[in-house]
Each structure stands twice: as structure tokens, then as C-alpha cells.
Chain A
Amino acid sequence: MGVLFPVLLPLVGVIVVVLFGRGDRSRSRLLASIFALATFIVTLYLAVALHDGGPDALRWGIEAAIPGTGFVMLAVDGLSLPLVILTGFLTCLAILSSWEVGESPTAHHALLLGLEAAVMAVFLADNLILFYVAWEAVLIPMFFLISVWGHENRRAAALKFFIYTFAGSALMLIGIIVLARSVQTLTIVGGVGTADPASQSLVFWLLAAGLLVKVPVVPLHTWLPDAHVEAPTAGSIMLAGVLLKMGGYGLLRVALPAAPEAFSAAAPVLAVLGGIGIVYGAVLALGQSDLKRLVAYSSVAHMGFMLLAISAGTSAGIGAAMLIMVSHGLVSGLSFFLVGAVYQRTHTREIARFGGLGSKIPVFGGVFVFAALASLGLPGLSGFPGELLSVLEGFSRFGWWIAPVGVGVVLAAAYNLYAVRAVAHGTLAPEWTDIADLSTRERIIAAAFIVPIVFLGLWPATVLSLTDPVSKVLALTMGGGQ
């Protein structure tokens, strides 16, 4: 039963915010944050329940007349829990960071809660149809968040975002149908059935079409910079922090167990796509003049590491992928929050116009340097263990073929340090002499991001111990090691 609440609470929140927050900004945001916080607390409760092994809290479903056809079937395990907690956490911070949103705050916060409910349903779905329904439902609030509250080119970006991801997921739907017909079952968490060998590669690539657009991998990534840049701050936090994780989660949860042989066969392709993402994303990030675009392209690079880790197909690789996803959720969330904060003060995102902000607004500068270090994978912060493991596992599987990834690692350091130098260091541009430092609310948000980033950097085993039981099973399905 407990597993129902991460989906139900935000939905109730949508109704409450719309009914009681109407046109009143402070009441809308208060109600929204109460519901988001309650949802986050419930996700923590799920962690306790998982630890204690209380099965009642971990599964929930309405039984239909014919077994297995009920659609609302939810379940949680070690693979979904980290992402569920991440979603609950980031939604709280997204609402907190859009505290001052000007236009229709009621609708904005209601859409954020609706988005949270849909994403939670993706991570908790124990039914392929519900999984797809939730997957598409995510698009609706995100489409409106971008197209109404976004920046200058928001409408084109929203349309592009929707059509790209819809194109992928429509093919994924065909994959799901072919799979469901092959295995005659719809359950997910208990183990997706394995498609018959003849149709495995069809199933895998159809599913991958939807999943890889979402990740995104390089030839399919072009919606990402536009959507990320045009989205409002809360939208960017959710998009980078949570939505991109749906791709990796889907690969592990559905595509891998459904078509293990096709997955093994495709692993080198996935590794190459991941490697291209790491290098190409970093090159593009380095070339940006727009700070938000730089952060957006860094997501492509980070997700490349994630894909490389998955393609290794080992238990450790899967654990690394999960670690990267959680870490990237936090780090990119913090980065987008900072870009939003500086944009709110300066109304520009042009890197060349900044400079020396660290001396004028030291708290912002300090947090910005921290975010850049976390992004480049400084040991001791959350990005390091996952990406290190990813490279190690990739090396043990593919050998020296993954050497080019090293270039990406160096480039990651380059673009992050370039951003630090251009924004925080140097001489202060005269136009920003009366700029204000982070407010108390913003400092709380920054601290809320920093604490888990440090914590996971020091104790990555927190995530790994959750995912381990599941990733071992997945690795066995593939016939991989350990």
C-alpha cells in the first residue's frame, strides 16, 4: 500500500493546489511544497520498508477480473527506490527554486506536482501498459511547463521536445506490444518475461528507440539543449534531474531483461554511443557561449558514462549506472538552479558577460565552483565513484577500445573549469556591481543539494547496497560476471 502514495499524494496535491491556491501565489506554493515534502517523506519510508523487507508496503495493485489485466499495479525494489527518492527530493527543491515564479503560479506548481506523479508512476509501474501510460503522461506537464513558462523560443522548443520523445516512445509502444504478445504477461518488477530469441533484437531496438531518445544518446539528443535551455528553472531541474533517468531506468528494467541476448549483442553499439556522448557532449559544452546550454550539453556527456556503464553488463556496471543517474540528478539540479538564480539577477545567460561574480557574491561563487567540481567528477563528490566504476567496467569488458573516453574526462574538466573561470573568477564586469548574493531561501536550496552530493561521494555504497540485489539478478540474466 505504501508504494501507492508517491503517485497518489502529488495527484491529490494537484487538485488541492488548483482548488485552494487559485490565483494566490503564496498559498499555491505553500500547499505545493507541503505535498512535495510529504511525498518525499513517503519515499524515505519506502526505503525503511525495503530495508525491513515488509512486502506489503512494496507492492500494490487492483486486481481485475482476469488476473494480470489490472492496470494500476505498483511495486518498488532496489532498482527503482534510489530514483523514486531522487524524484521526491528534486520536486521539493524545484518548487522551492520557483518560489518567485511570476506567471500563473497555481498552474505552475500544479503541473510540477502532476509531473512528479507521472514520473513516480514510471519508476513504480509494475505493468508494461501502466509504464507506457506514465511514460507518455510525463510529456504533458513538461510540454506546458516549457511552452508557457519558458524563455524566448519556448514554443518551438516545447513542440520539438514533445515530437522527438513521442516519436521514440511510439516505437517503444510497438516494442512493448510485440514483447507482451511474445511473453504473455505484463508484469515488470517481478521480472519482465524474456522474449523468444527470434524476436529479441526487434523488441530490443524498438524499446531502445524510445529509451535512447530519452537518455539521450548522441544522434538523438538534439531536443535536449533546446528543451533544457528554454524550460523554466524548475522545468530544467526536473528535466535533467529526473526525466533523463527514465531512459536508463527503462533500459535496465525493461529492455535488458526482455531481450538479454539482443542486449548482449547490442552492448558494443551502446558502448560506442555512450563513448560518443561523453566526448561529443563535452566538446559541445566547451563550445557554448550560453551558460545554460553548457550545463545542458554536460548532461549528454554524463549520460554517456551511464550508457557505457550499462553496456558493460556486469553487476558493478549496473550499480555504477544507478550511481551516475542519482549523482547527475543532484549535480545537474544544482547547476540549473544556479544558472536560474544568476539569470534572475542579470537576465542573461551569456558566459562572456559574466566574470568575477565570485568576488562580488561569494556564496554564489563558492557554490558555483562546488557544482563545477562535482560535475567534473572530483573524488569525494558524488560524480566520481560512478564514473570511475563506469570506466573500469567498460575497460574490463571492451579493453583499450574505450581509451577515447579519457579524452572526454579531460574535456569535462576543461569545460567545467572554463565555466568557473569565466563566471566566478576574473574581474567583475561593471554592469553587475549591485548584484545581490544568494538569499536565505536560495542558500537552503544550495545546501540541500550539497549535502547529498558530498554524502554520496563519501559513501557511494548507500546507493550500491540498494541496487546490488537487483543488479546481480540482471547481470545473471545476461550471463555476465559477478
Chain B
Amino acid sequence: MENVTPISLWIPAAIVVAGIVLGLLADALRRRAAGAGIIAASLMAAFAVCGWTGLTLTPAPLLDVTFVSGGVLSVAASVVYLIAALSVLSGWKQVASTHRGVTIAAITAFSALGIHVLISSLDLLTTILVLETIAIAGYALVSAAGGRRADEAALRYFVQGGVATGFTLLGLAVLYGVFGSTNYLDLYNALDGGSRVAALGMVLILSAFAFKLGAAPFHTWAPDVYEVTEPSTAAFLASAPKIGALMALLMVFPAGLFNAQRFPSGTTAIAVVAAASIVIGNLGGLRQSSLTRMLGYSGVAQVGYGLIGLVSGVIGYEETAIFAVTYALGVAAAFFAVAAIRERRPQWDGSISGLAGLAAEAPVLAASMVVAVLSLTGIPLFVGFWGKLLVFTSAISAGLTWLAVVGVLGSVVSFGYYGKVLIAMYAPGTTSPGEISEPSGSGVSSASVVAVIAALLVVVGGAGPLITGISEVLRLFTL
């Protein structure tokens, strides 16, 4: 076991770094399709390695407890790599033909790698460094969409992110200055619940994470960013960093550094943030007419559900991880479907009502969107159900029934906007048959293939546990 453990972090990291370097090299030689292909292939390879190590290895610390990898952590990382690979493939039309496209692919891969390190980090300094790496990659991905609105959104994202970074660094300085270490284990032993300084550090770091997650009240960047970013890129931005941030929070909060026994106020704070995110996200989502903006607000609410798992403490560990992964798959599937729709209907204004007639025009694509949306609602048979079921169960186990009730009622409200998407797609189209523009490019586009693949993952993940039993799912995530 000892000698194979490093495989779970170093090997996939090396593969992705090599893929990025070779891909950019190929791009410099104007072999763009090859470059993008190399990057996508390296991400798929990293997915395979992480998936395999996740299923076979129990988590073990590396480099004297600076990193931990294997088990649930590798499973989560494998999903991150998978979504990154699908994101590159979904935007293939642009990725494989332009310089900017290959750069986007490279940044996506780099960000995925950062998230993997974030998930594995057991050191506050490393955590903060990779959080910044991911954030900077995020700013680049947003502005890569081009146009003034994208620049504006990226700038707002950047400025708000800068404030969060400031909080984080201050928190780091406080903790390091007083307790003399950045390592989680050392800090865990040194921290004292009565200490005001420790509580200050906790508040600072918690607000930084809330920003990264897009949790209320630090959520205002999310809808803008999701709306203007290229949908194939947004699929990655909306899903993978949330897996990373939630998993990293699991290391820091209730069970970890600032554990619930010593810092009950931290648990209360997260519970309030969770409830606020659910309420604000769902009510905000109801008012949106733009599909991607709506997904932005719904993302705020979904983070709230994830935080429910988090406040449940030790009981909620696996549950939170499963929720993060199931949400990521659902929202990525939704954005991949958006990417395919955008490619099919270049004139589409992005509004929900503009989806009218889609089901008649492209039934398989519409069905993929149905699957994604029902999964996000948390309807059984789709993977999102298991995530919600488990976080609500963990909340009830932890005696937080009220939070579970807020969560389920939020899910009900969410169908108010998710359902509108279904209704719109199956409504008759407004354009007469002659006006429908033929999809550009012949045959099936890569974007729609990716949308269908993502939807199939959501269905298999949703229906599979019915046959294998939930214990099999839990086994994947046992730390």
C-alpha cells in the first residue's frame, strides 16, 4: 500500500502537466486540434487513474501530512478531471480551431489540477495557494468568452475575489502568527476554542470559502459569471471548483481544524449561511428569464444544500462529498446541454422562453436537458436525488431537522424555475418550420454528444444505486 499511494496524486498531476505542456507546444506549431486532443486525452487519463485509485486505495497522507489522497478524495478528483475533459470536448468546435480555444483547454486542465491539489491539501498555505490558482484560472476562463459583458463580469469577479483573497491571507497570518504552523494537524492540536484569535481566523477563512463557493451573502458574482461565460466552459466553472471548495471545507470545518466541539459558533454560522443560500438562491432563481443566470442562482441554493451536509459534522462527511459530486454532474450536464443548444440555435438569446420548440426539433437534446434539470431538482432516478437524500439524512441525524425542512422546501420552490425549462422546451416553437436555421456543420456536433454523455452519467448514477444498493455508493466515499 505504501509504495502505490503516491499514484493517486502525483501520477495524475504529472500526466495533466505533461498534457498541458505538449498541448501548448502543439498549439505553437499550429497543430491546434492535436494540441487540444492531447490536453483532453491527458485529462481522461487522469480521470482513469484517479477513479482507479479511488476505488482501490484507502486515503493515506503524503509528504508527512501535507497532502492526503485516495478513497473519496480521489473519486471526487476523478469527477473533476472527467468534467474538465468533457468541457474541452464540448467546446471542440472552437477549441480545436483557434489559438484562444487551445488556451482555454489548457487553463481548464490547469484549474482541474489545482482542484485536485486543493482536495488533497492538508496545509493551510497550500490550500490558499491553490485556491488562488483556481481563482485566477477562473478569471481567465470568464474573460475568454470575449466582449464587454464578459470583461465586466470577469472584472467584478476579480475584484470580489481579491477581497476574499485578502480575508484568507489575513486569516492565514493570524493563525500562523499566533500558533506557529500552517499544517492542519499542528493547528488542530494547537487551536483552542476559547481563543478569540482562533475564532477570528475561522471567520476570515469561512468568508473566503463562502465567496469561492458562491454562498450567500457572497454570491453576487455567480449569476453574472455563469451567464456570460461560454457554456462549455461554464459547465466546468459551475461544477468542479465547488467540489474542490466543499471538500477542502470538510478538512477545515466541523470535523477538522475548527471542529464543532470547540467552535460551536462556526457550525451555527455555516448553518445560517446554508439556510440563507437556499432561500436567496431559490427566490433569485424564480425571477430569472435567462437560463444560465437561473442556473447561477440555483447554484447558490445548491451550495446551501452542500453546506447542510457540512454542518452535520462527522456524520455528514461522505454525504457532503457525494452531494458535491452529484451536483457537479447535474449542473455540468445542464451547461453541456446549453452549449449544444447554443450551437444548434446560434440566434438563441439565452432566455428560457427561447427554448420553445426544442423538443420537437431535437428530442434527444431536450431529453438530456430534462435529465439534467430533474437531477438538479433532486427527483429520484437521477443522480442529484442521492446527494440531496444523503445531506438531508445527515442533517436529521445531527438533530438539524429544521435545516432539512428548509432544504426540501427549497427544492420544491426550485421546481418553479427548473420546471419552466421543461415546459418551455415542450411548448410548440414560435418559428415556422421554414425559419428554423439548420445547425451549422454537418452531422452530430461534439457539443450535443457531450450533452448526451453527461445526461447518461446522470441517469446511470441515479438508477444504478437502486440495483446495487446504497451501501455500494457509500463504499466509494468511505474515508
Contact = CB atoms under 8 A, between A and B. Distances in A.
Contacts of A155: 423, 427
A144 B379 CA distance: 15
Interface in B397-422: 397, 401, 404-405, 408-409, 411-412, 415-416, 419-420, 422
Nearest to A118: B381
Contacts of A174: 392, 396, 401, 404-405, 408
Describe B's contact surface by its main secondary structure: helix
Interface stretch (A42-50, A128-136, A330-338): A128-136
A56 B269 CA distance: 53
Interface stretch (A66-74, A217-225, A235-243, A361-369): A66-74
B294 to A, nearest CB: 15
Contacts of A66: 469, 471
B396 A178 contact: yes
A181 B405 CA distance: 16
Contacts, number: 98
Contact of A71 (B374, B422, B466, B475): B466
Contact of A162 (B397, B404, B419, B426): B419
Residues of B in contact with A, size category: 20 to 34
Interface string A138-182: 011001100110000001001100110011001101100110010
B380 A133 contact: yes
Interface in B273-324: none
Contacts of B404: 174, 177
Residues of A in contact with B, size category: 35 or more
Nearest to A130: B466
B21 interface: no
A137 interface: yes
A65 B422 CA distance: 38
Given A65-B471, A69-B471, A159-B419, A171 B381 contact: no
B393 interface: yes
Describe A's contact surface by its main secondary structure: helix
A147 B469 contact: no
B466 A133 contact: yes
A269 interface: no
Contact of B401 (A132, A163, A166, A178): A178
A62 interface: yes
B63 interface: no
B186 interface: no
A62 B380 contact: no
B471 A64 contact: yes
Nearest to B379: A136
Contact of A72 (B419, B422, B466, B471): B466
A173 B389 contact: yes
Nearest to B420: A159
B374 A166 contact: no
Contacts of A166: 411-412, 415
Q: Which of B381, B411, B412 has the most CB of A within 10 A?
A: B412
Contacts of B401: 174, 178
Contact of B469 (A69, A134, A137, A167): A69
B467 A181 contact: no
A163 B472 contact: no
A167 B412 contact: yes
B258 interface: no
Q: Which of B385, B396, B466 has the most CB of A within 10 A?
A: B466
B381 A147 contact: no
Interface string A89-127: 000000000000000000000000000000000000000
B465 interface: yes
B381 to A, nearest CB: 5
Given A71-B465, A147-B423, A159-B419, A140 B472 contact: no
B470 interface: yes
A70 B392 contact: no
B442 interface: no
A167 B408 CA distance: 8
Given A71-B467, A147-B426, A167 B409 contact: yes
B470 A159 contact: no
B419 A62 contact: no
Contacts of A129: 389, 470
A64 B472 contact: yes
A147 B422 contact: yes
Interface string A177-192: 1100100000000000
Contacts of B440: none
Given A137-B380, A143-B422, A170-B409, A181 B396 contact: yes
6 contacts: A71-B465, A140-B374, A159-B415, A170-B411, A177-B396, A178-B401
Closest 6 CB pairs of A and B: A64-B469, A170-B408, A133-B380, A167-B412, A69-B471, A70-B469
Given A162-B419, A166-B412, 13 more contacts: A65-B472, A69-B471, A71-B470, A130-B466, A134-B380, A137-B380, A137-B381, A140-B381, A163-B419, A166-B411, A171-B405, A171-B408, A181-B393
